[in-house]
Amino acid sequence: MLHSNNIVQLLDEVTNLKRLKQIHAYFIRNSLQIHHDIWVAQLLTLCTRFHAPPLYTRRVCQCFQEHV
């Protein structure tokens, strides 16, 4: 499992929507999105940067809301 600092670095290095989705899937599989609000904020920032479809961005938000 990745350490918190490694995840922040990994998110900082995302260069496209496909990679963002892969990392988000990793978060879901390992329940990581529930532990760190900063990860959710970074995911949403990347959704904006890569012009993610609204449905996908909504899914990112819902994953976070389900665990608050």
pLDDT at 35 over 70: no
More confident residue, 32 or 48: 48
Cβ-contact 20, 13 below 8 angstroms:
no
The pTM for the full model equals: 0.78
54 lies in some domain: yes
Distances (CA, A) of 9 to 24, 40, 60, 61: 14, 14, 19, 21
The domain in which residue 35 lies consists of: 18-65
Provide the pLDDT confidence category of residue 64 given band limits of 50, 70 and 90. low
Cβ-contact 23, 17 below 8 angstroms:
no
Cβ-contact 60, 24 below 8 angstroms:
yes
In total, how many domains does the chain have?
1
10 lies in some domain: no
pLDDT at 44 over 80: yes
Chain centroid to Cα 40, Å, comes to 5
- Interval 33-39 mean pLDDT: 67
In percent, the amount of the chain with pLDDT more than 90 equals: 37
